[in-house]
């Protein structure tokens, strides 16, 4: 594709002098616009997501002048925004044609400011950049979008917070995130939203975002890194063996945030034994069906499952795969234990 060349006047240094800067760049493709819009609207602190997207556009699409990542890091934020906005908006115009309709409402800016605080000056300038996203959103097929872009498509024409949140609740669009739930592992990450939905307590409708920390030792650092950047409440969920960590963490937790502990062990330990038995028998056609006794050999459910998988030659026991099997077999009220009901009640 032939690169586009533009000239603009830069008088940012002095009101009496200016410099003609030649801008030569490649258009962003429709797919690149989609990917960048997706990245800008995910649950990521804008200081991370905006710089990543803006620097990526400069490095990949700007031909003249040429900047390195080091140059971009030192570049004036107004200059960077001018170049990125030019490339973005001209790319949209190239694909969809010129659009004279303008909106005073910046849904991306609102989304950032609803959830995050203490945004640095440079990033504030980034989120104020006038990027034409309306024509992109109009062109996208709602049913094929990730949930963050579904939210944008449903909300970008609305003009106030109440309308946006009501629209999000109506369609269970998760965004804007209104509560963060930090969990230790993948089992909770997969199963909690499913159980909540069965209890008519839809996490997406309530704006509850689940973030897996990858272990109890990582959860506190994740919270410490996020707590001063978030306007929304944070809930931390721990297994019973993390009580010492919780006691230390309680000294540094904000009043709006809270800690929940699974008193009986891990999340697998509060699952219904009958649900586990039925799910495994539905998933695996073994010569010898799983019976309740097979799941009560050891105090910890994961120990029982590891032994069962090994002795029945079901392959390696992997928590993510197991959680997905369980999620596909939740059918009855008795599949949801009192411990899980109380957990979801406390999260909500």
What are the boundaries of each domain within the chain?
A: 4-127, 179-267+339-347, 269-332
pLDDT for the residue 2:
60
d(CA 331, CA 195) in angstroms, rounded, equals: 10
d(CA 105, CA 163) in angstroms, rounded, equals: 13
Of 214, 218, 266, 264, which Cα lies nearest the Cα of 239? 266
Of 40, 135, 153, which Cα lies nearest the Cα of 94? 135
Q: 95-133 in b/e burial notation, b at 16+ Cβ within 10 A?
A: ebeeeeeeeeebbbbbbbbbbbeebeebbbebbebebbb
- Strand ranges (E), 124-227: 179-183, 208-212
d(CA 289, CA 281) in angstroms, rounded, equals: 6
Please state, in angstroms and as integers, the Cα–Cα distance from residue 73 to each residue in 47, 66, 68, 264, following that order: 12, 14, 9, 49
Give the CATH fold of the 179-267+339-347 domain.
Rossmann fold (3.40.50)
pTM for this predicted structure: 0.88
d(CA 211, CA 45) in angstroms, rounded, equals: 14
Start-to-end CA distance of the chain, whole Å, equals: 52
pLDDT tens per residue across all 348 residues of the chain: 566 665 554 545 455 555 556 889 999 999 999 999 999 999 999 999 999 999 999 999 999 999 999 999 999 999 999 999 999 999 999 999 987 666 667 999 999 999 999 999 999 999 999 999 999 999 999 999 999 999 999 999 998 899 999 999 999 999 999 999 999 999 999 999 999 999 999 999 999 999 999 888 899 999 999 999 999 999 999 999 998 999 989 988 999 999 999 999 999 999 999 999 999 999 998 778 999 999 999 999 999 999 999 999 899 999 999 999 999 999 998 999 999 999 999 998
């Amino acid at each position: 594709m032939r690169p586009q060349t533009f000239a603009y006047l830069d008088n940012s240094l002095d009101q009496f002098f200016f410099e003609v800067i030649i801008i030569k760049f490649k258009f962003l493709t429709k797919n690149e616009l989609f990917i960048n819009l997706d990245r800008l609207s995910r649950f990521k602190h804008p200081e991370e997501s905006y710089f990543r997207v803006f620097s990526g556009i400069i490095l990949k699409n700007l031909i003249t002048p040429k900047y390195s990542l080091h140059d971009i890091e030192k570049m004036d934020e107004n200059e960077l925004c001018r170049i990125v906005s030019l490339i973005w908006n001209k790319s949209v115009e190239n694909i969809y044609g010129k659009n004279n309709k303008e909106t005073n409402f910046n849904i991306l800016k609102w989304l950032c400011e609803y959830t995050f605080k203490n945004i640095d000056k440079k990033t504030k300038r980034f989120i104020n950049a006038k990027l034409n996203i309306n024509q992109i959103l109009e062109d996208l097929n709602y049913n094929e979008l990730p949930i963050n872009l579904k939210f944008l498509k449903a909300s970008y024409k609305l003009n106030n917070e109440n309308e946006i949140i009501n629209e999000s609740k109506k369609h269970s669009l998760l965004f804007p995130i209104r509560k963060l739930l930090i969990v230790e592992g993948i089992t909770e990450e997969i199963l909690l939203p499913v159980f909540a939905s069965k209890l008519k307590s839809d996490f997406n409708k309530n704006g509850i975002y689940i973030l897996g920390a990858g272990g109890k030792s990582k959860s506190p650092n994740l919270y410490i890194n996020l707590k001063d950047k978030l306007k929304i409440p944070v809930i931390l969920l721990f297994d019973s063996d993390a009580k010492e960590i919780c006691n230390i963490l309680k000294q540094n937790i904000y009043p709006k945030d809270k800690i929940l502990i699974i008193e009986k062990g891990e999340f697998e330990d509060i699952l219904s034994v009958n649900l586990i038995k039925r799910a495994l028998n539905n998933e695996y056609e073994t010569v010898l069906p799983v019976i309740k006794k097979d799941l009560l050999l050891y105090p910890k459910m994961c120990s029982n499952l590891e032994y069962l998988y090994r002795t029945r030659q079901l392959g390696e026991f992997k928590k993510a795969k197991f959680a997905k099997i369980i999620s596909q077999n939740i059918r009855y009220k008795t599949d949801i234990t009192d411990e899980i009901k109380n957990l979801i009640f406390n999260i909500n």
